[in-house]
Amino acid sequence: MYEIVAKRQLNATVTLLEVNAPLIAKKALPGQFIIFRIDEKGERVPLTIADTDPEKGTVTIIFQLVGASTKMLGAMEVGQSIQDFVGPLGVASHLEGIRRACVVGGGVGCAIAYPQAKALHGMGARVDMIAGFRSKDIVILEEEMRAVSDHLFITTDDGSYGEQGFVTNKLESLLDAGNRYDIVIAIGPVVMMKFICGVTHPRGIKTVVSLNPIMIDGTGMCGCCRVTVDGKMRFACVDGPDFDGHLVDFDELISRNSNYKEEEQAHQCRLPGMGGEVHA
């Protein structure tokens, strides 16, 4: 069992938990993930490791309350325990030799972009970070992101905070202003990552994306997380989740991620206090 030792509500639908998992905390690297299962009847859900504290033996996860399992996890309190917490899984991000980077996060994807920026900053790289949100009320991790970047640019779709516009607009303006990057790391909605690659590809800037296809076992056996990269089938759980964005078949990924939309929308929540409403 893995005890929850800290909890913080980042906005109305995003929760941060710090979980006691000393073996994972000791080995985890940026880009890797865990799979949790609340109890023996629970589903297996992958979440990227947002941070670790090897001294305390804790792993930080940040997640959005979008389905039955994440809502159940979000309802848990400090002192309660998660039955399964498996990791670290996936291939760690390759960040060696990077001197200048732009890390782009979209929405809750900033929770995954943050450890990348933190690692690069700790290695002495200059880091510009762009964090995009729909509006001011859902901005997360601003202080944390600012602490690990040389420049943090926040954009909101409605202009209620930071600069109005999309992360792609801000990236284009930085590139047009003469900024040169060894790499752009983009993490967020699939469509956002696709359009970021549309900005960087003509400029020949290496771009790495973190993919989030449907995933079950996390060991490459089920095949659910297959993605097409450079015309070849890859498994995000064992070959990724990081891939060269210019080689990813985003249209196929978008299509596969929507395979179970009807079933997700029809799921009846039976959580106490949730009213049994239909949710994704």
Q: Where are the domains positioned within the chain?
A: 2-89, 100-257
Tokens for 120? 């690069």
- CA separation for the pair 68, 277 (Å, rounded): 11
Statement: residue 220 has pLDDT above 90:
no
pLDDT of residue 224: 83
Statement: residue 267 has pLDDT above 60:
no
pLDDT of residue 215: 82
Place of tokens 């596969």: 256
Statement: residue 164 has pLDDT above 70:
yes
> Which residues lie across from 229 on neighbouring strands?
232, 248
- The model's confidence at residue 67, banded by pLDDT at 50, 70 and 90, is confident
Other CB atoms closer than 10 Å to residue 204's CB: what's the count? 8
Q: Could you tell me which of 278, 250, 242, 241 has the C-alpha nearest to residue 192?
A: 250
Q: What is the mean pLDDT of residues 232-248?
A: 93
Topology of domain 2-89, per CATH? Elongation Factor Tu (Ef-tu); domain 3 (2.40.30)
- Within 13 Å, how many C-alpha atoms sit on residue 178's CB side? 0
Sheet with 81-82, strands from edge to edge, namely 81-82, 2-11, 14-20, 58-64, 45-53, 33-37, 84-89
Statement: residue 43 has pLDDT above 70:
yes
Q: Of 4-8, 65-69, 194-198, which gets the smallest average pLDDT? A: 65-69
Sign of CA pseudo-dihedral 213, 140, 43, 242: positive
Identity of the residue numbered 129: M
pLDDT of residue 225: 86
Q: Could you tell me which of 60, 144, 51, 154 has the C-alpha nearest to residue 105?
A: 154
Statement: residue 19 has pLDDT above 60:
yes
Q: What architecture does CATH give domain 100-257? A: 3-Layer(aba) Sandwich (3.40)
More confident residue, 181 or 42: 181
Q: What is the mean pLDDT of residues 141-154?
A: 96
* Mean model confidence pLDDT for the chain: 89
Interval 82-94: pLDDT, tens: 999 999 999 999 9
Interval 199-215: pLDDT, tens: 999 999 999 999 988 88
SS3 assignment for the chain: CEEEEEEEEEECCEEEEEEECHHHHHHCCCCCEEEEECCCCCCCEEEEEEEEECCCCEEEEEEECCCHHHHHHHHCCCCCEECEEEEEECCCCCCCCCCEEEEEEEHHHHHHHHHHHHHHHHCCCEEEEEEEECCHHHCCCHHHHHHCCCEEEEEECCCCCCEECCHHHHHHHHHHCCCCCCEEEEECCHHHHHHHHHHHHHHCCCEEEECCCCCCCCCCCCCCCEEEECCEEEEHHHHCCEEEHHHECHHHHHHHHCCCHHHHHHCECCCCCCCCCECC
pLDDT of residue 278: 31
pLDDT of residue 221: 83
